[in-house]
Amino acid sequence: MPRCVIASWVRTAAAVAGAVVALGLAGCERKLTEQGGYRGTGQVQVKSPTTVAALHELNRIPPPEEAADLESPPSTEVFTNLKVLQDLSATEVSRLMQALSTWVSPVEGCDFCHNPDVLESDEKYPKLVARRMLEMTRRINTEWKSHVGETGVTCWTCHRGQAVPSGDWFNSNPPGAGLGALGNRDGQNAPGANVVGSALPGDPLSLFLVTDQASVRIQGNTALRSGGHDSIKAAERTYSLMLYMSKSLGVNCTYCHSTRALASWQESTPQRSKAWYGIRMVRELNTDYLIPLEPMLPAHRMGPLGDGPKVGCETCHKGTFKPLNGVSPLTDYMALSGIGKVPPGVPTPAEPEPEAPPGPQARK
Ligand code: HEC
Ligand code: HEC
Ligand code: HEC
Ligand code: HEC
């Protein structure tokens, strides 16, 4: 075979290989890494610029309505059926109503919650749900500063223009659902989105984010087993919850833990304490607000096992470690901080002393 033919084959092969490599690399991107802990602890976060850019759009806050006139009469002099917003001025109530439409029902507007001819009527169920949501939002912003700090939340933090927020969840894998003689599968090997497709128990949420019956903590404090009855199954449930929390915040385990000693609070980041309060806050929101609302909801809002939508970490965080990238949506709507219109001369209540972080020995 003439040499020039072989050379041309070689050239073609090299060109094809080059093109394949170039195509392959086009799909790669340079990841961003950040060191979060002390040197040598490997507490690194790896981020993809594409994901960061996509989250940027999701975390936009709509421009606030124009500030209300504080001199307007108290809302109770103008409106007849206020049960929550009695501490605001009439114009602040109207301004907040505009915002509620933008946050929860931008398409239907006021009519989503109101009969437009009788605004004081409670005939539409979304209005009743919204009234309870107003109370819930104020509760988060006043009583759960241990988690939301001064940043706080508004309806937008969860809803982002949708009637039912993304990142809500339903019960699945009812306890005891077994395989007969094969025993109780405990929701394992049924890869669910909440456990990122792993074979871990698929529903850590109904176990940990409604009640405190199951303990998250499974590691012993002694070299040999001493009295505890924590099983491998319990450990797998904890790992499922941890996967869900990591996914909801868009981080990995080392954002909160030093993986050398997962249980040690001394070696964990401050974010882990925040997360500890977050777990307790979510339990309260579900027990005191979302579950009691279930009887009001129409059948098409219910999940496969007949329960209503519930709040998880993802409902606020949506893949970002600080919802809305840490920008406070509350500063323009202090009415939702529970302070409302404070009459001049009345001091705002003093901040409660922050609770001590959870002790390493506390079980729940
Ligand atoms: C997501 C639900 C929701 C949307 C959207 C909404 N509202 Fe409301 N509205 C409420 C709730 C809840 C109350 C009662 C608040 C309370 O009990 O303190 C209320 C109360 C009112 C009242 C007081 C009625 C009275 O006399 O008691 C008026 C007026 C009002 N809304 C007007 C509007 C207007 C105008 C819009 C559209 C720009 C709007 N609302 C959009 C939920 C909503
Ligand atoms: C912590 C997250 C969170 C916040 C904050 C929040 N909501 Fe909700 N909201 C939910 C979840 C989850 C549901 C679905 C469960 C339900 O309908 O009971 C919901 C449902 C609703 C519904 C019923 C929608 C339907 O069509 O069934 C209305 C109306 C509503 N919210 C209004 C509000 C308003 C107004 C605010 C702000 C004052 C608010 N929400 C704040 C999580 C939140
Ligand atoms: C956002 C912070 C956060 C992230 C991310 C996180 N954890 Fe946790 N982890 C916690 C908190 C808070 C607790 C304690 C919860 C409690 O006591 O209620 C905990 C507890 C644990 C425990 C039990 C420790 C004990 O005392 O027995 C293990 C094991 C664990 N995490 C593993 C992981 C793994 C593996 C990952 C990654 C897949 C992870 N965690 C991601 C916050 C986090
Ligand atoms: C009601 C909305 C809401 C829910 C639900 C929620 N968070 Fe948060 N979280 C926030 C807000 C707002 C902040 C920002 C607080 C600040 O700026 O100080 C935050 C901050 C955090 C931080 C600190 C981030 C940092 O870098 O400082 C962690 C960790 C965290 N949340 C974990 C969780 C976990 C885990 C859950 C579920 C168990 C959860 N959150 C549920 C609203 C929420």
Query: Measured between alpha carbons, how far is 42 from 35 in angstroms, rounded to an integer?
Result: 7
Q: CA torsion sign, 76 to 80 to 86 to 90?
A: negative
Query: Measured between alpha carbons, how far is 193 from 204 in angstroms, rounded to an integer?
Result: 11
The pLDDT tens digits of the residues spanning 220-262 come to: 777 777 666 667 888 888 999 999 999 999 999 999 999 888 9
Task: Mention every residue, 6+ apart, whose C-beta is less than 8 A from residue 323.
Answer: 59, 151, 153, 157, 316, 317
Query: Measured between alpha carbons, how far is 206 from 187 in angstroms, rounded to an integer?
Result: 12
Q: 202: which 2 tokens?
A: 């698929």
Highest mean pLDDT among 26-40, 128-142, 332-346: 128-142
pLDDT at position 203: 84
Residues of the chain above pLDDT 70, percent: 80
The pLDDT tens digits of the residues spanning 176-199 come to: 455 556 566 666 776 667 777 788
The most distant pair of C-alpha atoms in the chain lies apart, rounded to whole Å, by 101
- Ligand 2 centre distance from Cα of residue 222 (Å): 45
What is the rounded (10 degree) CA torsion for 82, 86, 89, 94?
Answer: -30
Query: Measured between alpha carbons, how far is 273 from 267 in angstroms, rounded to an integer?
Result: 12
Residue of minimum CA distance from atom 37 in ligand 1: 110
pLDDT at position 26: 59
> Given ligand 3 and candidates 232, 236, 257, 313, which is best to mutate, with the most ligand atoms within 8 Å of its CB?
257
Residue of minimum CA distance from atom 5 in ligand 4: 313
Mean pLDDT computed over every residue of the chain: 84
Q: 111: which 2 tokens?
A: 């009519």
- Ligand 4 centre distance from Cα of residue 198 (Å): 24
Q: 227: which 2 tokens?
A: 């009295």
* pLDDT of 359 higher than 90: no
In one-letter notation, the amino acid at residue 69 is D
For residues 274 and 151, the answer to whether their CB atoms sit within 8 Å is no
Please state which of the ranges 16-20, 66-70, 198-202 shows the lowest mean pLDDT. Answer: 16-20
Q: 59: which 2 tokens?
A: 């975390």
Please state which of the ranges 48-52, 68-72, 173-177, 209-213 shows the lowest mean pLDDT. Answer: 173-177
Residues with CB under 6 A from ligand 2: 100, 104, 126, 129-130, 133-134, 137, 153, 155, 157-159, 163-165, 168, 285, 290, 293, 297, 301, 308-309, 311, 315-316
> Stretch 154-179: mean pLDDT, rounded?
84
Residue of minimum CA distance from atom 23 in ligand 2: 126
* pLDDT of 65 higher than 60: yes
- Residue 210 pLDDT class (50, 70, 90 cuts): very high
- The CB-based long-range contact list for 328-335 (8 Å cut-off, 24+ gap) reads 328/150, 328/151, 328/152, 329/61, 329/152, 329/153, 329/154, 329/156, 329/157, 330/141, 330/151, 330/152, 330/153, 330/154, 332/64, 333/64, 333/96, 333/99, 333/154, 335/85, 335/88, 335/92, 335/96
* pLDDT of 159 higher than 50: yes
Residue of minimum CA distance from atom 27 in ligand 1: 81
Q: 67: which 2 tokens?
A: 């500030």
In one-letter notation, the amino acid at residue 2 is P
Residue of minimum CA distance from atom 33 in ligand 2: 130
* pLDDT of 151 higher than 90: yes
- Ligand 1 centre distance from Cα of residue 160 (Å): 19
pLDDT at position 223: 76
Residue of minimum CA distance from atom 15 in ligand 1: 82
